[in-house]
Structures are given as C-alpha cells and as structure tokens.
Amino acid sequence: MDQSQVYGFVATQHNDTYPAIDPLKSDLSGKNVLITGGSRGLGREMALSYAKAGASGIAVLDVLDSTQVNKEIIETATAAGRPRPKVVCLKTDITNLASVESAAESIKSELGSLDILINNAGYGSPYVSVTESDPEKWWRNFEVNVKGVYLMVKSFLPLILESQDKTIVVLSSIGAHHVVAGGSGYEPTKLTVLKFNEYLMAEYGSKGLLVYAIAPGGVLTAMSSDAFPSHLHHLLGDKPCLVADTLTFLTKERRDWLASRYVDSKWDMEEFLAKKEAILKDDLLKVRLRV
C-alpha cells in the first residue's frame, strides 16, 4: 500500500490547520490531558492546542526540561480567553518503569484524575539498511515507541479508567502501512502499536476504555530531519499544528466508534466523520491480513 491509497481514503487532505478543527471552537473544560514528549515538537503543539481548547489540566512528561512549555501553556490559555489550566510538568523516562510509576503517582496527586492520555513521545533511528544500522539505535525504536507506550498504559490505566472519558490516543504513522527501504527500525514500531491497541480494547473495552491511533502526517522535526535521508525531506511538509488541532477536535467528545482504528490527521475531519457508517459497516481502518 502506498501513501496515496491511505491519504485518498478521504477526498480532501490538509497540511496545515483549518477552521473545522480550530481548538478555539472546542470546549475541553473539566478535562485533564497528559502528553508524553510534550516539551518540544509535536508534543509541544499538542499541549498548546489543548490550552487553546480550555483543558482544565495539562500534564507534560519528557526527558527534557519543560520549563518553557509550562510558561507557554499558561500564556496560550490566557491569550485564548480560557481559564488558567493546572499545568504539571515532570521529567520522565518513559522507557523506565520506576520513572513512569513515579509520574503516575504525581499526576494522581496533582490532578486527581486523567481523562485523556496522548502517547506522543517517539524515537526514529536513521533510515539505513539493516547491515549499515547501529543495533542500539535500531532497538531504541522499540524501547521508546513500543515499550514506552506499554509502560505508560500499564502505569496510568487505573487512573484513566476512573475518569469519564477513559481515552488513550497513540501516535502511529503512515509508515505502518508501507515499506520504505531503511525504515526497518522505526516503521514496524508504528504498526505494532496498532495491534497493541486492539489488545487493550479486548481487555478493557468492557470497562469503558477507548483507544485509537493517529498519524501526524509528514512533519519536519529534529527527529525526522535526522532520521529521514535528505531525498525524503520533501515528504515532511505538514505543520505540527495539524495533528495537534486534530487531536483536540477528536477528543473533545468520546467517539467510541474509533476504537482500535487508525486515523490520519491529513484527512479532512468533516469528510472523515461523514464516513462513519461505511467504516463501521466494513470494519475499516484496522490492520488485517487479506487472503
């Protein structure tokens, strides 16, 4: 499957935010959201979008210092005319169980509840052939993109299940559905989390859990710039606010029909939602073997 088949599922695609998903039109008051990798790149944009949408609590977990984004979240909420959110920034290594468990205890103490968990933190090793790859960097993809998601869910699920929204969104990628030479470390991790989501729904769906995945499009970040060879940089023309505003739009309400499905932020959301019945009828947007 190539990119055009995935993107073409919805007639209209975007590479920047647009009026229908404007976070200023959403109301997430009363909701607490946590974003991993939230101090920079896509995660930072997500935190600011939730601030614009009026989220009452915004937690940022990152291995880097989050002082600047803490300030920006408050400034953004104020500029949007929203009440000042409760902001919690924690230095956390999502690949370390003790670090994640400590963060879960702190979030419970500081926010009391957690409605929405965005598993955004990621790692991408350089796109090189298997024989040219660095084993530690290759395996680091799985440590962050798979183990990190697993540890976050394992540690935060009890708190999430106590909330009203009970929502987890995992960052996937268009790379989960095609093969680009050199991507053997990164791309399989984004496929793995799609299957992991199905196990979560099988085990906790009856308790009200809602889990789905979103792809951010091709965004030029420090990570993607280092990982992608220069001849592929032309594919990285999407703005980070696109996935951020798409997330606030989707999570402003529970959309149970998205359970275990893949959503691409490049899709026009109004056109995508109009396909709901067709998606449910044929159980689309899930990973399956066709024979």
Whether the CA torsion 54, 58, 64, 68 is positive or negative: it is positive
* Residue 165 to residue 255: CA distance in whole angstroms: 10
* Residue 67 to residue 158: CA distance in whole angstroms: 28
The residue from 50, 127, 150, 186 that is catalytic is: 186
The residue from 31, 190, 252, 266 that is catalytic is: 190
Q: Give the residue from 187, 234, 258 showing the smallest Cα distance to 15.
A: 234
Burial of 281 per CB tally in 10 Å (0-12, 13-18, 19+): exposed
Let me know if 127 is a catalytic residue: no
* Residue 121 to residue 30: CA distance in whole angstroms: 24
- H or E stretch including 60? strand 57-62
Let me know if 190 is a catalytic residue: yes
Active site residues: 186, 190
